[in-house]
């Protein structure tokens, strides 16, 4: 049953549950979550439904993965009958809008913005929390001009539907996340001034981070140094033929926070890649010769036979660059390897008790169909920011 004093919310395009984990930690009440991909939903279900019993989940909706368009088609009357939904959170998949990959206006995922609007029309929540990549604010090139940005379109649509709207691009590294991750955040409200949300997260963040016991700025070293391979390894518990890492001692306040509620003997999803010898040698060269925190020079990449547009050696003394869905974009700051799934999760502020399901990686044409663990995490909203947002929205 819903506690009347709790804000109730629905999570759209929920992925593996990043924003819902944050809202759970902030004390909000989940009604249900919509996620199309079975593997991402498996992670969400295991952690937030089975382990934490977070969602009330209506009887008319079987607990499984859904495409939002199927929900709109098959459960229209049920959605309309929902009363007093306080909040809808989430944003459509962002790949077509991204500035880091190939932008594609015809990407079918971009059309999900219209599905989002239709859902809002039916449910009529009091408040909206919408997140997307920074590229959402940039129109697509058409000849020498740009089309209207999707951010402008959605602001107009929501305004026409009676919402007061305010939107900003925020850098999550300013809110304790060990990652320079800039995202478009939109707040829509029927009864309140959405500017107050942005004022309140600025006002509350210092006390929030102090209560968490972590500094305002956290580096990659702060986030993952206790997960280095030098701390020892075991046979991977979920993948024969691979090694996984052991815990080292917590050396930072951030690590202590991430491990606080975890009773696992070894870190989940901390499987090391089985690099070939020539790949290890390539990474050793990068560690010894390349400048950390900078794009690796084109000539160096060409000498290794890679065509990757972006490849960096991580700087341990700075927050991470924006995590993508491809682990080989970044080289570990002092070990000749890519980061593990657990290291990705740490940088995205998933605590160590949050366990990931499904394949670790995918490739080729399957990238459009499968959502392995790295992708689940790379697409998520950092739960730490989600919790701060939830504390503000709970009083909105």
User: Any idea which residues carry the catalytic annotation?
Assistant: 94
Q: Which of 345, 358, 338, 357 is nearest to 274 (CA)?
A: 338
Checking DSSP bridges between strand 182-189 and strand 127-133, what pairing results, if any?
A: antiparallel
Measured CA to CA, the distance from residue 40 to residue 255 in angstroms comes to: 25
Which are the contacts of 343, defined by CB distance < 8 A and separation ≥ 6? 223, 224, 227, 270, 332
Q: Please, are residues 168 and 196 in contact by the beta-carbon 8 Å criterion?
A: no
Distance CA 300, CA 289 (A): 10
Place of tokens 């090139």: 141
DSSP state string for 290-353: SPTTSBPPHHHHHHTT---S--EE--TTSPBPPP-S-GGGEE-SSSSSPPPHHHHHHHTT--TT
Residue 256 has phi, psi (to 5 degrees) of -65, -40
Cα angle value 108/114/117 (rounded, 5°): 150
The token pair that represents 142 in the structure block: 């058409």
Note whether 113 and 92 are within 8 A (CB).
yes
Q: How far apart are CA 324 and CA 379, in angstroms?
A: 7
The rounded Cα 201 to chain-centroid distance in angstroms is: 19
Residue 147 carries which DSSP code? P
Tokens of 145: 């001009």
3-state secondary structure of 243: strand
């Amino acid at each position: 049953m819903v506690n009347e004093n709790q804000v109730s919310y629905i999570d759209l395009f929920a992925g593996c549950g990043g924003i819902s984990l944050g809202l759970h930690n902030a004390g909000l009440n989940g009604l249900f979550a919509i996620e199309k991909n079975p593997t991402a939903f498996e992670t969400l279900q295991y952690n937030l439904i089975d382990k934490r019993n977070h969602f009330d989940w209506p009887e008319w909706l079987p607990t499984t993965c859904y495409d939002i368009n199927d929900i709109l088609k098959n459960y229209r009357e049920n959605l309309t009958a929902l009363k007093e939904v306080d909040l809808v959170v989430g944003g459509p998949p962002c790949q077509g809008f991204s500035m880091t990959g190939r932008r594609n206006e015809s990407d079918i995922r971009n059309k999900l913005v219209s599905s989002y609007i239709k859902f809002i029309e039916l449910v009529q929540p009091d408040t909206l929390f919408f997140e997307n990549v920074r590229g959402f604010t940039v129109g697509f090139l058409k000849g020498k001009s740009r089309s209207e940005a999707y951010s402008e379109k959605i602001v107009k649509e929501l305004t026409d539907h009676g919402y007061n709207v305010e939107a900003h691009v925020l850098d999550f590294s300013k809110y304790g996340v060990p990652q320079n991750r800039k995202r478009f955040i939109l707040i829509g409200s029927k009864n309140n001034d959405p500017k107050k949300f942005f004022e309140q997260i600025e006002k509350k963040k210092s006390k929030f981070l102090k209560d968490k016991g972590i500094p305002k700025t956290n580096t990659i070293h702060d986030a993952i140094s206790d997960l280095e391979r030098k701390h020892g390894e075991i046979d991977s518990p979920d993948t024969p033929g691979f090694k996984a890492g052991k815990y080292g001692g917590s050396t930072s306040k951030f690590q202590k926070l991430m491990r606080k509620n975890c009773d696992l003997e070894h870190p989940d999803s901390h499987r090391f890649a089985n690099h070939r010898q020539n790949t290890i040698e390539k990474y050793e060269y990068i560690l010894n010769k390349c400048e950390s925190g900078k794009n690796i020079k084109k000539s160096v990449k060409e000498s290794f036979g890679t065509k990757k547009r972006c490849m960096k050696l991580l700087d341990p003394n700075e927050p991470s660059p924006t995590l993508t869905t491809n682990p080989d974009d970044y080289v570990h700051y002092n070990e000749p390897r890519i980061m593990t799934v657990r290291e990705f999760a740490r940088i995205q502020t998933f605590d160590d008790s949050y366990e990931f399901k499904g394949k670790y990686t995918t490739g080729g044409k399957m990238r459009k169909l499968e959502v392995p663990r790295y992708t689940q995490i790379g697409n998520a909203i950092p739960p730490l920011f989600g919790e701060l947002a939830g504390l503000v929205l709970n009083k909105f």
